[in-house]
Amino acid sequence: MKKDYLFICAVLMVSATFGQDISQKTAQKTQKSVKIEQKVDSVLSLMTLEEKVGQMVQYNGSWDVTGPATGADNQQRLERLKNGLVGSMLNVLSVNATREAQRINMENSRIKIPLIFGYDVIHGYKTIFPVPLGESASWDLDLMKRTAQVAAHETAAAGVNWTFAPMMDVSRDARWGRIMEGAGEDPFLNSKIAVARIEGFQGDDLSAANTIAACAKHFAGYGFAEAGRDYNTVNVGVYELKNTILPPFKAAADAGVATFMNSFNEIDGVPATANAYLQRDILKDKWGYDGFVVSDWGSIAELIPHGVAKDKEEAAYLAVEAGSDMDMEGGAYEKSLEKLVKSGKVDEKLVDDAVRRILRVKFRLGLFDDPYKYCDEEVEKSEMYSQANQQVALEAAQKSIVLLKNQDKLLPFSASAKNIAVIGPLANDKDSPLGNWRAQATANSAVSVLEGIKDRAPKGTKITYTEGAKLSTGKRAFLDPMTFNEQNTSGFKEAVSIAKAADVVVLVVGEDAFQTGEGRSQTDLGFAGVQDALINAVTAANSNVVLVLMNGRPMDLSAHNEQVKGIVESWFLGSQHGSAVADVLFGNYNPSGKLPVSFPRNVGQEPLYYNQKSTGRPEGGAQVTWSHYEDLRRDALYPFGFGLSYSDFEYADINLDKDSFAQGEKITASVEVKNTGSVAGDEVVQLYLRDLVGSITRPIKELKGFKKIHLEAGETKTVSFTIDEKLISFFTKNKIWEAEPGDFKVFIGGNSVDVQESQFQYN
């Protein structure tokens, strides 16, 4: 108590020196958290062991609109809820449903601790934004903060106060289906985007009724699943872990993310859920993280098939020892934790620590003040899918589009494009643009590409449409994967005929919405079904073809790259997909997206990422014995950071204000960027560094900064980046984060390959 008082006084004194506003806020925050700690202790002291364990249990809803679903299992769960033996529920949605679950808990339980309701709000709740990988292509942090904010508003309006997002797994293998859920292959970009999304979800005040708790997932290493096969083994060394995988999580912890989720995979023999090194040593001790860690779905019980626990009791033991605080649908804590404590095998202090963390988050959300604060039908009605939210969805969709190819400046369509053929299995699809993890989106609610084109095309334009081929037999969420391997080519004739008659063709192909996402790994990055043959037929009929791609992972485009004049990467853009694509096709929006992942030349190059190591036999070896493939170039077809615009940007030489710097100093690297094109546009100016000699091997290029700028036609701007010790630090051979003296290359450009280059020294 005394200590707390002294700490507050110290904070208040510091306030007087450094600007009233900021310090007043800090002092208020400190005061608030001291109070929360006192309340947490007081609630904990009233709890029985059974109730404590109950807080560590999370149930899947099994909830009908207004009450629990029937069935023996659910009856049992309902009893536990009444007895205050459930800490959280997931997938209970709507004001009605969450209010009822909360009521049952609050009115019947002895201890009356509010439930926290979780849900996967990955790219929107009702209004759907681009899938996270697509949205990351915007490189627009403010935008991503705003889309997360809108998602939070809609989620909170549905009575839910916790999202299992953002996913910040650095992912480097396009075969991995979950690559669509993250920000791609780079740790720096992932860190920045994770923080933006957390700030959007949580706002300035977690206790406000329109903000929700975020969750940093999956801790850790999930994106490194061997061969891109979901849930597969991960083998990374400590340097890779520290320098590549953990930075986004550290950034999330520093940004105050309310919760963490662990992951399904093992790392070097130890499943993440049973990994004390990750969860206790690094997260809770070293980083001082005081929120809680929820397991991934059933991942505690999965310690049994992992082969490190013989039964649920042993699984519970391993998980709680390792710092997994809440058991999502694993049934292990519920079954065994109390017994483990009573038998003396698990120290009750570990349970207390977990419960303290869970209560802390519930207090931070303001649930103890009002467990029903998220339950307001009026807000639910007005907030959901509002016009304003659709506007943000349109902006996000426009900014996420990446123009990969634009031969002969076919795009944007000129006035001579009077007859446009729209072809392809995804062209009039109103459902696929919603992507996987679409939360509560209404099926078929997106604007299709065809609808967008019809709406945006200049008056008098003739638009013809045919599907050409089917991609799948329908929504394949849980179908046999072979059912999407369509073989029917009977629609080709019509496709060829309208293509022949048209001035330009928009050919919309790619992946089904459920071809990426959890469990959707593939060995093939090409076009499923008869799409290859369709592309061949249509490009033979008309030489002005623009491919509009819909997909959640990098695809192998090499077979068609030369056949078409234009390639528009549109991912799954969400509710406003078709409008955004049409805006790009007709030039209402000048594309500015840049790839957050490398697009390979074929699947055999995977895992492919720009920030690779040099190896002892780097690129350029004269003979055969250097690190390459004999049958293919080793670089990407479209590299990380790449994306065209209707403007042309010219980069001048890099200007460094000095050529060396020492500890405590910094260097400024500047470059002039000119828009030499005839229309205004946005460019993402990217800074990369290379540490030429390190105590451990270093990547050949690492993204270390980016700025998105707007340039009018003919305009020039100077873009500057500050390079300091922190920016060049890494986890070194000394096993600490530090900057090592030596020579560095600095690169600035519009993608990771086409860059200006200079050099500096750090002494």
Residue number, 182 or 639, with CB nearest to ligand BGC = 182
The nearer residue to ligand BGC, 295 or 406, going by C-beta atoms, is 295
- Cis-peptide into 412, omega within 30 deg: yes
272: which 2 tokens?
């993440």
Binding string, residues 516-545; x marks residues near ligand BGC by CB under 6 A: --x---------------------------
CB of 164 to ligand BGC, least distance (A): 3
Minimum distance of ligand BGC from residue 313's CB (angstroms): 23
The CB-of-478 to ligand BGC minimum distance in angstroms stands at 14
- CA-based diameter of the chain, in Å? 84
CB 612 to ligand BGC: min, Å: 27
* Cβ distance to ligand BGC smaller for residue 181 or 583: 181
| 419-423 and 504-510 strand pairing | parallel
User: To the nearest whole angstrom, how small is the minimum distance from the Cβ of residue 555 to ligand BGC?
Assistant: 23
In this structure, is the dihedral angle defined by the CA atoms of residues 475, 478, 481 and 487, taken in order, positive or negative?
negative
Indicate the residue among 59 and 297 with the shorter CB distance to ligand BGC.
297
Q: Are 297 and 329 in contact (CB under 8 A)?
A: yes
- Residue 22 CB, shortest distance to ligand BGC, in Å, is 35
> Interaction with ligand BGC in 279-308: which residues (CB under 6 A)?
296-297
| Rounded CA separation 474/432 (Å) | 10
Select 167 or 584, whichever has its Cβ closest to ligand BGC. 167
Residues 203-262 interacting with ligand BGC (rule: CB under 6 A): 217
- Set 120, 296, 325, 327: catalytic member: 296
Nearest CA-CA partner of 611 in 736, 761, 753, 755? 753
Query: Residue 129 carries which side chain, given as an amino acid letter?
Result: F
Cβ neighbours for 341, distance < 8 A, ≥ 6 positions apart: 49, 53, 347, 348, 351
Beta pairing partners, 262: 219
Q: What angle, 0 to 180 degrees and rounded to 10, lies between the N-to-C axes of helices 247-254 and 187-202?
A: 30
Helices (H), 369-491: 377-383, 387-400, 449-456
DSSP secondary structure, 587-622, as one string = TSS------SSPBPSSGGG-S--SS-B--SS-TT-S
Write each residue from 175 to 204 as x if it is in contact with ligand BGC (CB under 6 A), else as -, in one continuous string.
------------------------------
Distance CA(323)–CA(277), nearest Å, equals: 9
Distance (Å, whole) CA 169 – CA 634: 24
Q: Is 59 in the site for ligand BGC (CB under 6 A)?
A: no
Cβ(295)–Cβ(262) below 8 Å = yes
Based on CB atoms, which residue is closest to ligand BGC, 153 or 217? 217
Place of tokens 């925050």: 29
* Shortest-Cβ-distance residue relative to ligand BGC: 164
Strand partners, 723: 667
CB of 217 to ligand BGC, least distance (A): 6
Nearest residue (CB) to ligand BGC, 52 versus 217: 217
Residue 295 Cβ vs ligand BGC, minimum distance, rounded to whole Å:
10
Handedness of CA 325, 328, 332, 337 (dihedral sign): positive
- Using CB under 6 A, which residues numbered 118 to 137 contact ligand BGC? 120
Check if the beta carbon of residue 159 is closer than 8 Å to that of residue 93. yes
Nearer to ligand BGC, 218 or 594 (CB): 218
Residues binding ligand BGC: what is the number (CB under 6 A)? 6
Least distance CB 600 / ligand BGC (angstroms): 25
Q: Which of residues 83-122 bind ligand BGC (CB under 6 A)?
A: 120
Q: Can you give 301-355 as a three-state secondary structure string?
A: CCHHHHCCCCCHHHHHHHHHHHCCCEEECCCHHHHHHHHHHHCCCCCHHHHHHHH
Q: Quick check: is 431 catalytic?
A: no
Based on the shown chain and the rule CB under 6 A, indicate whether residue 164 belongs to the binding site for ligand BGC.
yes
Closer CB to ligand BGC, 265 or 752, in the complex: 265
Catalytic residue positions, numbered: 296
Interacting residue ranges for ligand BGC, rule: CB under 6 A: 120, 164, 217, 296-297, 518
